Amino acid sequence: MLTLHEDVRIDSCDMSYQYHIVDLSKPVVLCFAPGNSGTDRMDMQQNLWGFDYLKSRKMNVLSITHNGQQNFYQSQACMDIFSALGECLAVFPERIAYGSSRGCFAIGLHAKRLGLDRALMMMPVSSMNAELAPQEPKVKQYGAHPNWQGPHNDAAICDIPLTVICDSLYPADHHHCRRFSNVVQFLRLPGVGHRVPSVLNKMGMLSKVVIDYLHNEIDTQAFYKEARKRRQLNVYYRQLLRDPTGKLTTKRKFILRKHQTHVAVSNLSQQLSAKGSAKVSAAKQWLIAKKPNLSLIK
């Protein structure tokens, strides 16, 4: 039974969840945190990922975060909690999930238990099993855990409609996305790597994308138009210069480096107006712009 109009938080050994319900006649949004938001790395008094954002918008919110870096919501305790939550959430007219990276694994694995209707996934992880996700670089870090050889090792069993956002040029993430069969909208954000939410945030797009999705109003044409702003971010060129697809020519690398330098110089005046360490950082970028690192274009 859910308590209304109060902040409620439950912490267990495997996961934590926090909710605030304002109106049972409106949808509830389930927020699943990425791997770097595990509660072993944060103040236990701090609200969970996505909670404050949706609560401030008067939405029903249930935020869920894993405890422990090896935890991918695969324990029997997690199964039991999600099954119990699913029964409670049945009172809502719609159950919408929103997650990033590891959080998307939880969405896919537990969609049926939670009775989810649809989900927004950003750079989703489908598995850490080496056979299912051979291109995933973190398989060596996580894949040896016994859970990845058991029955709960694949989030691609998810059968609800999905909207997915990922870097289509980053092989690991693109492979994960292709494993989900119920993708009804695939928004590509090339050149950002495994940093989709942070890059969207830097471009001032993250909030609008999430809210538009929750209201079924994502405008694909407007999304791609706004996404061009990533060309003004250094991370965009840094990711492309890593040549994730292995197809960059020397000429193309030189062009990318040239644009990267131009972006650094264009932003210099704003950074030089800062003080302290920010000003030092700006000076370093000026040196980079004046003398590009030619090793990056060999």
Q: List, as one string, the DSSP characters of 146-159.
A: GGGGSTT--GGG--
Q: What is the pLDDT of residue 298?
A: 33
pTM: predicted TM-score of the whole model, two decimal places: 0.87
Q: Are 255 and 151 members of one domain?
A: no
Q: What is the pLDDT of residue 284?
A: 53
- The candidate with the shortest Cα–Cα distance to 19, out of 108, 81, 102, is 81
The reply to whether 3 falls in a domain is no
The reply to whether 216 falls in a domain is yes
Q: Are 38 and 147 members of one domain?
A: yes
The dihedral over CA atoms of 25, 31, 32, 38, expressed in degrees to the nearest 10, equals -130
How many residues in total does the chain contain? 298
Q: How many domains does the chain have?
A: 2
- The candidate with the shortest Cα–Cα distance to 59, out of 211, 203, 183, 176, is 211
Q: Are 33 and 164 members of one domain?
A: yes
Q: What is the pLDDT of residue 263?
A: 85
Q: Are 90 and 182 members of one domain?
A: yes
Q: Are 278 and 197 members of one domain?
A: no
Q: What is the pLDDT of residue 264?
A: 83
- Residue where a domain stops, chosen among 198, 230, 262: 230
- Residue where a domain stops, chosen among 230, 265, 284: 230
CA diameter of the chain: 63
Q: Are 218 and 71 members of one domain?
A: yes
Question: In which domain, by residue range, is 272 found?
Answer: 248-297
- Residue where a domain stops, chosen among 200, 230, 260: 230
Give the CATH number for residue 51. Answer: 3.40.50.1820
The reply to whether 15 falls in a domain is yes
pLDDT in tens, the chain (298 residues): 799 999 999 998 899 999 999 999 999 999 999 998 776 545 667 899 999 999 999 999 999 999 988 899 999 999 999 999 999 999 999 999 999 999 999 999 999 999 999 999 999 999 999 999 999 999 999 999 999 999 999 999 999 999 999 999 999 999 999 999 999 999 999 999 999 999 999 999 999 999 999 999 999 999 999 999 999 999 999 999 999 999 889 998 999 999 888 888 877 756 666 555 555 455 455 454 444 444 443 3
Per-residue CA distances from 157 to 107, 109, 153, 180 (Å)? 10, 7, 10, 8
Q: What is the pLDDT of residue 126?
A: 98
Q: What is the pLDDT of residue 68?
A: 87
Q: Are 137 and 264 members of one domain?
A: no
Q: Are 103 and 212 members of one domain?
A: yes
Q: Are 90 and 208 members of one domain?
A: yes
Q: Are 29 and 100 members of one domain?
A: yes
Q: What is the pLDDT of residue 36?
A: 80
Q: Are 175 and 83 members of one domain?
A: yes
Q: What is the pLDDT of residue 238?
A: 93
Q: What is the pLDDT of residue 290?
A: 47
Q: Are 165 and 31 members of one domain?
A: yes
The reply to whether 239 falls in a domain is no
- The candidate with the shortest Cα–Cα distance to 185, out of 224, 154, 139, 157, is 224
